[in-house]
Amino acid sequence: MNKFIFTLAGSGLLSLAVSPTLVFAQTEQVSDASSPIEILITAGRKQQAASDALAATSVVTREALDRSQSETLGEVLSQLPGISIGNTGGVGKQTSVYLRGSNSDHVLVLVDGVKVGSATLGSTAFEQLPLSQIERIEVVRGPRSSLYGSEAIGGVIQIFTRQGSKQGFTPRVSVSYGSNSTRQADVNLSGGNGTSWFNLNAATERTDGFNARDFYYDFGTGGNVTEGDNDGFKSNNFSLRAGHDFGAGMKLEFMALRNDSENEFDGDPNESEGTQQVGALKFTAPVTNNTLLTAQIGQSRDESESFKDGLPYAFGGVFNTKRDTASLQAETKIGEGFGALVYGFDYQDDQVSGSTNYDVSSRDNKGLFLSYENQFGANAIAASVRQDDNEQFGGQTTGNIALGHKLDNGMRLKASYGTAFKAPTFNDLYFPGFGNPDIRPEESQSLELGVSGNFAGGRWAVNAFENRIDDLIAYVAAENAANNVDKAHIRGVEFEFATVVADWQVSANATLQNAENDSGSNKGKRLARRAEKILNVSADRRFGAFTFGATLHAEGDRFDNAGNTQRLGGFATVDLRGKYQVAKDWAVAAKVSNLLDKEYETANSYNQDGINGLITLEYQPR
């Protein structure tokens, strides 16, 4: 059945790409097909119209998040082109994001411009970034190290916290109840007078969960252990964002976000507590008629502690990262027809602490970057270069160049080439029994070709990419340590369509990719947990006071290990959602997920939830 779905979808999407007039039921999942021109920030570290960007991007607005009724950030991201998710058992459980087939630690994650994540693992706890605090998500696919530094091999995901109203006072309250005794409450207060504004949000979530894992292997006893209990999750979230406009282009903004969670799972350990915290202060001011200066300082914290049956984990399970960042950036418009420059300096200081003793527990990184963009007639160019100087491994230079050309029929062609790198983590360098202080950064070279166009009421795009990654870090048994021994070769193509048909906002995207190991005994085998085929189709429509929507998400098979001996079958899920405006200020929303009660796994031996539902009562003065 899954093979049939992908064969049909692939041939259909290909024919639509060749003949755009046939695109009736396709658009970008989650984002709004009928929305006005989107303004991007992440693609070039400055504001620009989405139509001007030469990078492949996706934008998810607050309106789209509310309409989709998604419960987790992982669910939202899984519906975007080029993204595959690995999850270990539902809401609150470890969620890995594979962007364009790259590793889960090859995606840079920012919250309001502040780099987040664990300096020991090298990845981000997406399961601990609550949707209730998010105003907007921008995903840039493809290398961006030439603007942001380490991690941006697969791309960049930037999350913007709730901004709220800048005029008057607007409260919003919602409560939800659903399957697995899920309880949620969210309070959002925002207001402003045109020059000053604020948004305050507080939310909580409780769920009893389900049995995330039927059994696990116990290394102490050398056998399988069965645990049939449900694995719950608790989360409390808070965010504050405020700003003041001094006039003459000068603005000051402050943001803070904190999430505290408690998680249950099967294994040894079997419980954990985690904290994600981000704060930033940002000042923007014009220094000349054509130069805008932006200064920002920020801090992020990633903290976790593991337990076994309520007791501290005997083998040490406390890992804390504190990351201080600062940036100074200028944007200069050279003149009419001569384009613009973005240039600046980034500073980052990472510190780790906890129950594991690292030979080195802190390091800093300094980065200088310069980019140039210009549009002249039907042509466009974007070029950038960056030099990073890391206290641990020295210097790293990356670059990117992209060219675009608009045809007379409205279609746009683009091509880009970029290099990127991933700095070794503290675990790679110093973890006892694994670390190697001589490890070098992982490096990549990427090529992308794209074509896009608009038609009456919609848009479409096709992007093909190739990425070669060298010096991948892996454990070498003979050396009893990690080393730069692996390589990977990733090829793929993404299809996106958007339109409105008979008042239906209908959308689809598909990704076909081949992510292979290019070295050693596993050469030619697929990289673990990466599906080769991904399809998303969605439709939403308003009927007076009632809105209705449905989503199809399908993925092909994948392997859970490098040797490709643990196969995870493909799957397709269907979600339904509806919302009814009971009164002027009151609405009731409901969602049924996995309507067909499909059993599937995105990580070996970890269950996903069957058919489940959530109902929400919402109050918002209008």
- pLDDT at position 262 over 50: yes
pLDDT tens, residue by residue, 376-390: 999 999 999 999 999
Residue 36 has what pLDDT? Answer: 53
11 confidence band (pLDDT: 50, 70, 90):
very low
582 confidence band (pLDDT: 50, 70, 90):
very high
Is residue 8 within a helix (H) or strand (E), and if so which, with residue range? helix 2-18
Q: What is the DSSP string of 97-128?
A: EEETT--TTSEEEEETTEE-S-TTT-S--GGG
The DSSP 8-state label assigned to residue 606 in this structure reads B
Tell me if 101 sits within 8 A of 467, measured CB to CB. yes
The arithmetic mean of pLDDT across residues 59-65, rounded, is 94
Min mean pLDDT across 3-7, 135-139, 231-235 is at: 3-7
The arithmetic mean of pLDDT across residues 416-445, rounded, is 95
Residue 26 has what pLDDT? Answer: 29
Winning range, highest mean pLDDT, from 101-110, 306-315, 427-436: 101-110
- pLDDT at position 277 over 90: yes
Percent of the chain having pLDDT more than 70? 94
Q: What is the CATH number of the domain that holds 438?
A: 2.40.170.20
Residue 124 has what pLDDT? Answer: 97
Residue 105 has what pLDDT? Answer: 96
- pLDDT at position 158 over 80: yes
Q: Residue 293, Cβ neighbours under 10 Å: how many?
A: 18
Residue 389 has what pLDDT? Answer: 97
Residue 28 has what pLDDT? Answer: 34
Q: What is the DSSP string of 390-458?
A: ETTTEEEEEEEEEEEEE-TTS-EEEEEEEEEEEPPPHHHHH-TTT--TTPPPEEEEEEEEEEEEEETTE
Q: What is the DSSP string of 174-209?
A: EEEEEGGGEEEEEEEEEEEESSEEEEEEEEEEEEEE
The arithmetic mean of pLDDT across residues 79-104, rounded, is 96
pLDDT tens, residue by residue, 543-567: 999 999 999 999 999 999 999 999 9
pLDDT tens, residue by residue, 483-539: 999 999 999 999 999 999 999 999 999 999 999 999 999 999 999 999 999 999 999
Residue 208 has what pLDDT? Answer: 97
Q: What is the DSSP string of 37-97?
A: --EESTTTTS-EEGGG--SEEEEEEHHHHHHHT--SHHHHHTTSTTEEEEESSSTTS-EEE
- pLDDT at position 397 over 60: yes
165 confidence band (pLDDT: 50, 70, 90):
confident
Q: How many domains does the chain have?
A: 1
pLDDT tens, residue by residue, 178-224: 999 999 999 999 999 989 999 999 999 999 999 999 988 887 777 88
34 confidence band (pLDDT: 50, 70, 90):
very low
Q: Cα-Cα-Cα-Cα dihedral of 562, 563, 566, 572, to 10°? A: 60
Mean pLDDT computed over every residue of the chain: 92
Per the structure, the complete domain to which residue 270 belongs is given by 2-619
